[in-house]
């Protein structure tokens, strides 16, 4: 191994299923490259475990390029680790020091039960999204959608909200395990666009109701979610959701 070979100690949460009590296991890796991503480092760990005849660590991942939102890991007390605006798969071992002990835990929230090791069930997010329902305005194919005139400011703001990858880091980082940043991003991306107007009020009402039913906490505006969000979704979205929801409750025909 080259001169910049790293020795890393890991303290990883192991739990065989949602009904068992988990605990931390300690591991030691002697051949970690600073250029590896955090997940590649876990691949190395798992190969080592398989060679030793042990159960590899279960962790979620898919794209490994920061767009799918699967790679949920609470690393050294931070959602997705120490960097700003970065998912675990985009975090590299050069962000750590040789000899470091790294603590890795799953997202902790009543609404995100642990399935196995570091894998949590984030179906609650999917149920919030489906509660939002359909957009009845037909947007057509790509070029039809592009031909619909939308003011640049609205398009930019909607796009910034739509950048949310539903990773759950906001819930994981929030002291209240509140999902308000995620839900506000999903409500905002449609509330800002002309296609989203027809179902605007009912969507806000239903998505918030589903969010509450899932057992997420209540936002106290600490701002932790935006600070830890890999897509840097801003607090103004939560303010917009509050306006949308209160406005919807006061004006919608659902009594």
Return the residue of 39, 220, 232, 233 that touches another protein, per CB under 8 A.
220
Return the residue of 177, 190, 191, 207 that touches another protein, per CB under 8 A.
177
Return the residue of 81, 168, 196, 234 that touches ligand SF4, per CB under 6 A.
168
Q: Which of residues 194-233 bind ligand HEM (CB under 6 A)?
A: 220-221
In angstroms, the CA 246 to CA 201 distance is 9
Q: What angle do CA 71, 75, 81 make, to 5 degrees?
A: 75
Binding status of residue 240 toward another protein by CB under 8 A: yes
Q: 63 contacts which partner out of ligand SF4, ligand FES, ligand HEM, none, CB within 5 to 8 A by kind?
A: ligand FES
Q: How many residues does the chain have?
A: 255
Q: Which of residues 53-72 bind ligand FES (CB under 6 A)?
A: 61-64, 66-71
Binding status of residue 239 toward another protein by CB under 8 A: yes
Nearest by Cα to 179 from 206, 214, 203:
214
Q: What is the CA radius of gyration of the chain?
A: 20
In angstroms, the CA 79 to CA 75 distance is 6
User: Two tokens at 222?
Assistant: 């600490």
Return the residue of 224, 230, 231, 233 that touches another protein, per CB under 8 A.
224
Binding status of residue 206 toward another protein by CB under 8 A: no
Q: Which stretch binds another protein (CB under 8 A): 25-33, 85-93, 147-155, 224-232?
A: 224-232
Return the residue of 48, 95, 195, 242 that touches another protein, per CB under 8 A.
242
Q: How far apart are the first and last CA of the chain?
A: 68
Binding status of residue 222 toward another protein by CB under 8 A: yes
Binding status of residue 161 toward another protein by CB under 8 A: no
Return the residue of 185, 190, 192, 204 that touches ligand SF4, per CB under 6 A.
185
Strand, helix or coil at 207?
helix
Q: Which of residues 58-87 bind another protein (CB under 8 A)?
A: 74, 76-78, 82
User: Two tokens at 32?
Assistant: 């970690």
The neighbouring-strand residues paired with 114 are 120
Task: List C-alpha distances in Å: 222 to 48, 129, 190, 217.
Answer: 41, 24, 25, 13
Q: 233 contacts which partner out of ligand SF4, ligand FES, another protein, none, CB within 5 to 8 A by kind?
A: ligand SF4
The secondary element (H helix, E strand) that includes residue 11 is strand 6-14
Contact 202, 254 (CB under 8 A): yes
Q: Catalog residues that contact ligand FES under the rule CB under 6 A.
A: 61-64, 66-71, 87-89
Q: Which residues bind ligand SF4 (CB under 6 A)?
A: 164-170, 181-182, 185, 229-231, 233
């Amino acid at each position: 191994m080259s001169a910049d070979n790293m020795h890393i100690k890991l303290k990883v949460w192991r739990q065989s299923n949602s009904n068992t009590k988990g605990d931390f296991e300690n591991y030691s890796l002697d051949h970690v490259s600073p250029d590896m991503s955090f997940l590649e480092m876990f691949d190395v760990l798992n190969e080592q475990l398989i060679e030793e005849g042990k159960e590899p660590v279960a962790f979620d991942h898919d794209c490994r390029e920061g767009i799918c939102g699967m790679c949920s890991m609470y690393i050294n007390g931070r959602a997705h680790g120490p960097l700003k605006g970065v998912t675990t798969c985009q975090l590299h071992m050069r962000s750590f020091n040789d000899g470091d002990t790294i603590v890795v835990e799953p997202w902790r929230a009543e609404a995100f039960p642990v399935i196995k090791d570091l894998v949590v069930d984030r179906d609650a997010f999917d149920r919030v999204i489906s509660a939002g329902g359909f957009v009845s305005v037909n947007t057509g194919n790509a070029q039809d959608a592009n031909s619909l005139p939308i003011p640049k400011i609205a398009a930019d703001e909607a796009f910034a909200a739509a950048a949310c990858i539903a990773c759950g880091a906001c819930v994981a980082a929030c002291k209240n395990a509140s999902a308000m940043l995620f839900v506000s991003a999903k409500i905002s991306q449609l509330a800002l666009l002309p296609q989203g107007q027809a179902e605007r009020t009912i969507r806000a009402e239903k998505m918030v109701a589903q969010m509450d039913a899932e057992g997420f906490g209540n936002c106290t505006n600490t701002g932790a979610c935006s600070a830890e969000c890999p897509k840097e979704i801003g607090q103004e979205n939560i303010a917009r959701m509050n306006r949308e929801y209160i406005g919807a409750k006061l004006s919608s025909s659902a009594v």
